[in-house]
Chain A
Amino acid sequence: MTRRWTNDLTRDDVTPKGVWLNRRAVLAGLGAAGLATGLPASQAQAQALEPNTLEQITSYNNFYEFGWNKDDPAAHAGDMVISPWSITVDGLVDRPGSYSLAELLEGLSVEERIYRFRCVEAWSMVVPWNGVGLGDVLAKVGVQSGARFVAFETTVQPDVMPGVRNRIIPFPYVEGLRLDEAQHPLTMLATGIYGEPMPKQNGAPIRLVVPWKYGFKSIKSIVRITLTDSEPPTTWKRLNGREYGFYANVNPEVDHPRWSQGSERQIGGGLFARRQPTLMFNGYEEQVASLYEGMDLSVNY
């Protein structure tokens, strides 16, 4: 297995909660930390990822269970029932069953990880997630030797989900990863943002985060994790396989029929924000490129 993901940030970089909401303060703090520790320029730059504010992260979401628009999740997710929560783990695992959130996370330490988040619609954010490595969770339930893929499923609560009631796309929302992608140290199950429990519109209480893939792979409000031996169906591929593939790796060279993937605009820059170039694998090329060695990424998009 590849080396574990290590946080570039240290305890010193943790900004007091009151200051979190002020982006400039966060940036200034990171810049100063980079200089003070005398890190090489590239690493200091990686640290200077400027997280979006909690307000931005929680007010511009795609969560089709609650409607088509970016502000629908913030408006409608409030009534989603997230407690109690149980996750069914089944398929090719040693210890299948229904796990409570606490049971699934028991013994694992929740870390903060600041990741780029790139939507296929060519916008992006930087999010300080809290969560655990998916690989560690999979190790706990015991992956059997025949398993090659991991399938995920989102909760369906028609009473409180207008998008589900109107069947705007088929539900439950389903996603999947190849087992090696799922076990990659960058892949996480997130339970919070900015040290707060996961906001409902962002996929409370637990969601997937795969930072080198387009956002729709990072499935929200997970109720089922299934280990399988064949590629599981995924919602957007099923809806429109010509535009959305199983892999959905961020790739500025593989164009999407609707959106140019060569550039993106980070949320929060206002009316005159410029686009910035999109990075291969969303900037995580060094860590994940080896997963796709020998694959034609324009075929396996």
Chain B
Amino acid sequence: MALIPKELAQRVNRATRHVPAWPIYLIGAAWAGWLFWLGLTGGLGPEPINALERRYGEVALQLLVAGLVVTPLRTLTGFSLLKYRRALGLTAFFYVLAHFLVWALLDLSSASAIGREIVRRPYITIGFAGFLLLIPLAITSNAASIRRLGAAGWRKLHKLTYPAALLGALHYIWLVKGYPLEPFLYAVAIVGLLALRTRWTRLRTATA
């Protein structure tokens, strides 16, 4: 039950078979470096620390959303981007890590303040929880871990992406002043993607 003719989807999937995933890491790293360079040279405005922090956070959230798109896209259209998912997820993690490091090293630059802020500010607590959830996923994003955990166990563990993405979106809603649209769009997108996923899993298990 795909929304796109099967032949078309297959043709696209055949075409992407020869497009490797590694450029995602390369582009991700280059973009992060470019943003840092902009921050150094005045390209992010007169307050580059906050600007860099925000730019990294935003890319992290976008990549988390991109990772969540893969499965529903396949069930709905037949397009399979499965082979890019690990690269999307890992790059998302690296952006969260960079986001965290900008905050800890450049923004606060004080060890005692880091712990205090994580405990005291709900939006930081929530973001930090999302970050912690992503760590085991990053560590196990390799073939050896899949073998060790078994496919089912690995898949179960990697369901942590859902709460991590939700926490990221909630963190964004919580930290903004007033009610700008963007954080809510991310939240709606994530909740929508998760809803699609549960519906399709249910449908699939029902027809199996």
Contact = CB atoms under 8 A, between A and B. Distances in A.
Interface in A252-285: 255, 257-258, 260, 265, 267-268, 270-275
Contacts, number: 54
B109 interface: yes
A71 B109 contact: no
Given A68-B180, A260-B117, A123 B175 contact: no
Given A70-B45, A71-B45, A239 B178 contact: yes
Interface stretch (B13-21, B47-55, B64-72): B47-55
B122 A168 contact: no
B49 A271 contact: yes
Most A Cβ at <10 Å: residue of B117, B176, B178: B178
A271 B180 contact: no
Nearest to B116: A260
Interface residues of B, number: 27
B40 interface: yes
B179 to A, nearest CB: 7
A71 B47 CA distance: 11
Most B Cβ at <10 Å: residue of A60, A265, A267, A271: A271
Contacts of A272: 106
Chain B binding surface SS class: helix
Contacts of A68: 176, 178, 180
B46 A168 contact: no
Q: How big is the A interface, by class?
A: 20 to 34
Most A Cβ at <10 Å: residue of B108, B120, B177: B177
Chain A binding surface SS class: loop
Contacts of A257: 121-122
Contacts of A59: 45-46
Contacts of A121: 177
Contacts of A64: 178
A137 interface: no
A267 B47 contact: yes
A41 B40 CA distance: 34
Contacts of B113: 260
Interface string B30-66: 0000001001101001111110100000000000000
Contact of A265 (B49, B110, B122): B49
A268 B39 contact: no
A168 B49 contact: no
B123 interface: yes
A288 interface: no
A71 B113 CA distance: 29
Contact of B106 (A70, A168, A255, A271): A271
Contacts of B122: 257
B37 to A, nearest CB: 10
B109 A123 contact: no
A274 B121 CA distance: 21
A267 B176 CA distance: 20
Contacts of B49: 265, 271, 273
Contacts of A168: 178-180
Interface string A122-162: 01000000000000000000000000000000000000000
A104 B58 CA distance: 47
A290 to B, nearest CB: 32
Contacts of B176: 68
A258 B109 contact: no
B105 to A, nearest CB: 9
17 contacts: A55-B46, A60-B46, A70-B45, A121-B177, A123-B50, A168-B179, A258-B175, A258-B177, A260-B113, A260-B121, A270-B40, A270-B42, A270-B48, A271-B36, A271-B52, A272-B106, A273-B49
Given A60-B45, A260-B121, A271-B52, 15 more contacts: A52-B46, A59-B45, A60-B47, A64-B178, A68-B176, A70-B45, A71-B45, A123-B50, A168-B179, A257-B122, A258-B121, A270-B40, A270-B48, A272-B106, A275-B110
The 3 residue pairs across chains A and B that have the minimum distance between CB atoms: A56-B46, A271-B39, A60-B46
Interface of A: 52, 55-56, 59-60, 64, 68, 70-71, 121, 123, 168-169, 239, 255, 257-258, 260, 265, 267-268, 270-275
